Structure 1
Amino acid sequence: MRLLLIRHGQTPSNLEFLLDTTVPGAGLTALGERQAAALPGALAGEDIEALYASTLVRTQLTAAPLAAARGLDVRVRDGIRELSAGDLEMVRGDSEAAKAYMATAFAWAAGETGLRMPGGESGAEALARFDAVVAEAADSGAGTVAMVSHGAAIRMWTAARARNVEVPFAAAHLLDNTGVVVLEGSPSAGWTALSWAGAAVATVASGADGGPTGRPLEQPAQ
């Protein structure tokens, strides 16, 4: 199966660098709406047979133009929602909050799945729910599946499940709004990442360590 993991369009919370992870979450900005509208063209070469979105409204709004263009229903699943920020939810917009959040997420990807986000879920819980939706998609028989999800969830899951993406790579590469990670494989055979934000995984240049809102972690709060 070919799996397209798509980050949602820009939200007001992204602009304020807030960890906005609970349902229903923020909608899209005007730019986010344009990003969503551009997805059908950007993915014109993909023969998408099934389309999923998380339970947060921003992913469903992002998926809507693609669904309309392809004549697909959007399958809304809680399992691919953003990693729970727990005690950090919507209370801080600084780099330290993002560092704490992503440090936990990438520890999960490295195998420390018993760790729990302060006030939130564990890595085992987060991976299990995402895995379940991917398994459902694989069982559907669709050749190419698109899932509109969230930056931290996509980066963490890919680092945990793709044989050719290690934690340092996922930690060092941002995934901008409506950025896409393309993988190929199956839950039983495993996954190989083919591209990350449009570049082949083997040739993507190293970048700054990136936070869940798309801001490099070392950049001061704005």
Structure 2
Amino acid sequence: MTSSRLYLIRHGRTDANVRGALDSVPPGEPLDETGHAQAHALAARLRGAPIRAVYASHAIRAQQTAAPLAAALDLGVLLLDGIHEVFVGDLEGREDRPAREAFEVVYQRFWTGDLGARMPGGESAAELRARFLPAVDKVMDGAEGDVVLVSHGAAIRLAAAALLGDTALTSYVPNTGVVVLRPGGPRWELEHWDPAPRRPRDVTAGGTPA
């Protein structure tokens, strides 16, 4: 198995994040001014890393986040199927309290092991993993150098938990938060997980798929 590391990075901030809107369907909302600044800070942070490929989901916010990093590394941004956010179905586009509470109920069930729990009219954690994990296998197969996937908060957390064998305590991924994993036999190893701010403005207790 490759010894290359996998960077799972959440996109920068969007206006939907600020409003608390559920935004899971590509192309979705673009980065706001703060989000663009976060993307450039990310590029400066990782400029010296031995990254050989930068992938992004089909969401515009993920592509905009990946672009400065790819440019700093003299790489292009490659779009990758399967790493978009968990689909929230009937809750899409809503920012009202009942919608966010409905999302939170299902999201918390994921973390008690109920991977078949489903967003109303949407997707389950098991379905998210069924599309995300093969995408990881595809880009890491034979990789020589580290690989970046710019994705989404809930998707990253669910996929990382699966790669780690559901044995590691995962947490909210902040905007442009970085999770670094390394293949290590039957289970991956957690090398780094960016801490979250104590009271993020754009999420409920579990996190918003946006």
TM-score (structure 1 length as normaliser):
0.81
Provide structure 1 residue ranges, at least 5 long, that are not aligned to the other structure.
Answer: none
- Judged with a 3 Å threshold, the aligned counterparts in structure 2 of structure 1 residues 9 and 100 are, in CA distance, closer, same or farther, namely same
Aligned to 1:66: 69
Aligned to 1:117: 119
- Judged with a 3 Å threshold, the aligned counterparts in structure 2 of structure 1 residues 137 and 180 are, in CA distance, closer, same or farther, namely same
- Judged with a 3 Å threshold, the aligned counterparts in structure 2 of structure 1 residues 100 and 158 are, in CA distance, closer, same or farther, namely farther
RMSD: 2.6
Aligned to 2:188: 191
Provide structure 2 residue ranges, at least 5 long, that are not aligned to the other structure.
Answer: none
Q: Distance in 2 between matches of 1:109 and 1:142?
A: 33
| Contact 1:86–1:117, Cα closer than 8 Å, also in 2 | yes
Q: Distance in 2 between matches of 1:101 and 1:129?
A: 20
1:86 is aligned, of 89, 112, 136, to 89
Aligned to 2:132: 130
Q: Distance in 2 between matches of 1:162 and 1:214?
A: 26
| Contact 1:48–1:144, Cα closer than 8 Å, also in 2 | yes
Q: Distance in 2 between matches of 1:109 and 1:71?
A: 39
Q: Deviation of residue 102 (structure 1)?
A: 4.3
Larger RCO: 1 or 2 (CA < 8 Å, sep 6+): 2
**Amino acid across the alignment from 1:181:** V
Q: Distance in 2 between matches of 1:74 and 1:159?
A: 25
Aligned to 2:159: 157
Aligned to 2:56: 53
TM-score (structure 2 length as normaliser):
0.85
| Contact 1:11–1:26, Cα closer than 8 Å, also in 2 | yes
**Amino acid across the alignment from 2:180:** V
Percent of aligned pairs sharing the same letter: 42
Q: Deviation of residue 9 (structure 1)?
A: 0.6
Aligned length: 203
User: Structure 1 residue runs of 4+, over 2 Å off?
Assistant: 96-116, 163-166, 213-218
Aligned to 1:144: 146
Q: Distance in 1 between matches of 2:102 and 2:175?
A: 21
Q: Deviation of residue 153 (structure 1)?
A: 0.8
| Contact 2:19–2:95, Cα closer than 8 Å, also in 1 | no
| Contact 1:175–1:214, Cα closer than 8 Å, also in 2 | no
2:8 is aligned, of 5, 13, 16, to 5
Q: Distance in 2 between matches of 1:29 and 1:189?
A: 40
